[in-house]
Amino acid sequence: MLRNGLEPWHLVIVAIVVLMLFGSKKLPDTARALGKSMRILKSEAKAMKEESPR
């Protein structure tokens, strides 16, 4: 079925679809929000590790 797996032109098609769905104006805001969420998640996970009794 999928002999070659993911080829570079697949990624190009996905990028075009994402641009069409979200538009070029929303992508930087979305990436910024995702980065902020990842930082919060990382800091909360670190705090949970430090709190847990060993």
Sign of CA dihedral 14, 16, 19, 20: negative
Per-residue model confidence as pLDDT tens digits over 4-21 = 677 888 888 988 898 888
Residue 7 lies in a domain: no
**2 or 45: which leads in pLDDT:** 45
Contact 27, 19 (CB under 8 A): yes
In terms of pTM, does the model score above 0.85? no
Per-residue model confidence as pLDDT tens digits over 19-36 = 888 887 888 888 899 999
Residue 47 lies in a domain: yes
Residue 17 lies in a domain: no
What is the total count of domains within the chain? 1
**pLDDT for position 35:** 94
Domain extent for 37:
27-54
pLDDT bin (cut points 50, 70, 90) of residue 43 is very high
